[in-house]
Amino acid sequence: MKKFVYSAFFWLFCSSFILGQVKWPAAAIPENLRENAHAVMRKSETFYTVRNSGEGQRKVHYIVTILDQQGIEYSTLTVRYDKLSKVTNIEGTLYNTLGEKIKTLKKSDISDQSGISNTNLFDDVRYKVGQFNYASFPFTVEFSYEETDRNMLSYESWYPHFDSENLAVEQDFFKISVPASLDLRYKELNGIGAAVTEENNGIKSYSWMVKNLPVLEKEPYAPRKIKYGPGVITAPNEFEVEGYQGKMSSWKDLGEFDNVLCKNRDILPEETIAEVKQLTSGITDPVQKVKKLYEYMQNKTRYISIQLGIGGWQPFEAKYVAEKGYGDCKALSNFMKSILKSANIESYYTSIQAGDDKADILTDFPSQQFNHVILCVPMKQDSIWLECTSQTNPFGYLSDLPVTVMPCSLHLRVVNWL
């Protein structure tokens, strides 16, 4: 009789798995992954397909178990999109402690929210947010979505731990596929295993997987996890964004793309040119001339950030800034460059990475790794660096934030630590 009861229970338990009633029981998490963890990524899959130089598709599917209240953030799906991307096919499922399905994500559980940052007056960033109102720990959520991407300045990069705090990873898989004619550049970081490659019908695929990564605890003043955790960064050789074509197999190529975006945007109104000539009349020292014009720019403009589509990379025209009196880092640096040009002073529109706690620029891997633009003015003895977004910074003073820069003789792209 006991044997019959045990057998019946066994087959009932097995059938629950077969029928999909029990999928992700919390008890199945390995004990070593629970240590110091508030959540465990049970399984994550990212598939990125480059359709052509101007469009890609991202498919994401992941399951995460939330162990306690401190891991509750991982129970919410947040997907960023903008004018150059579109999110579709969002799905979600909620499971209890035993791994039994409780609820499926409904349209009413998904909100569409503005993503305007506190540094922008206006931008086109928005977020799809899927959320279950549940907190009986531990529990598990499963999410998936698809995204069409038309900002091909950047391909997908993969960091299993990223900067997630108190998150362990049971399994994470990443695959990127590109037409053989475009090829793929990639850099494997911090001990990640070599890519598994394959080619079928003119499509090359590269994939990586990690398993059983324990928590990487955050320490004060430690570098970001993406600096020392395993990962892969990928980038195109050729790309297209809103009709603008470019290359990035070298830093020079990527810098030339800025030239393409800035072409014919340095034309100033005649009255502005007249003001520049009047301000610099009688000044023979080139440094003092730059200083005078920098202070003129500071008094005439203010920083306002508007990021729409290609406008996230392309500056406003100098004429527009002269007439309206505002712009973002790109627009104000281009405006300052145009002013100096009208005074026969050479300068370089320079992309940099700025801000606290940023990862180092990967100098051996040309790719879009920048978030700010300043201006470099080469002089006989030294170079002058101009932060054009501040009305109060002294001449030649950048800021108190760390930046990554490159000698301006290499043009436009900044890649060596100051």
What pLDDT, on a 0 to 100 scale, did the predictor assign at position 123? 60
What pLDDT, on a 0 to 100 scale, did the predictor assign at position 413? 36
**Torsion angle in degrees (nearest 10) through CA of 178, 180, 185, 186:** 60
Contact by Cβ (8 Å): 242, 308: no
Supply 9's token pair: 């229970």
- The more confident residue out of 284 and 398 is 284
Q: Is the pLDDT of residue 414 over 80?
A: no
Supply 101's token pair: 């399905």
- Could you give the 3-state DSSP secondary structure of residue 324? helix
- C-alpha–C-alpha distance, residues 411 and 366, integer Å: 14
- For 261, the enclosing helix (H) or strand (E) is helix 251-262
Distances (CA, A) of 164 to 40, 227, 415: 11, 13, 26
- The more confident residue out of 1 and 399 is 399
pLDDT digits (tens, 9 = 90+) for 145-172: 999 999 999 999 999 987 688 999 999 9
What global pTM score does this model have?
0.85
Q: Is the pLDDT of residue 65 over 90?
A: yes
What pLDDT, on a 0 to 100 scale, did the predictor assign at position 18? 45
Nearest Cα to Cα of residue 330 among 244, 258, 246, 256: 258
- C-alpha–C-alpha distance, residues 127 and 141, integer Å: 19
pLDDT digits (tens, 9 = 90+) for 181-213: 998 999 999 999 999 999 999 999 999 999 999
Task: Tell me what percent of the residues of the chain surpass a pLDDT of 70.
Answer: 85
Locate tokens 């470099």: which residue?
Answer: 376
Neighbour count for residue 392 (Cβ, 10 Å): 6
What average pLDDT does the chain have?
87
Contact by Cβ (8 Å): 406, 413: yes
- The more confident residue out of 8 and 95 is 95
What pLDDT, on a 0 to 100 scale, did the predictor assign at position 120? 53
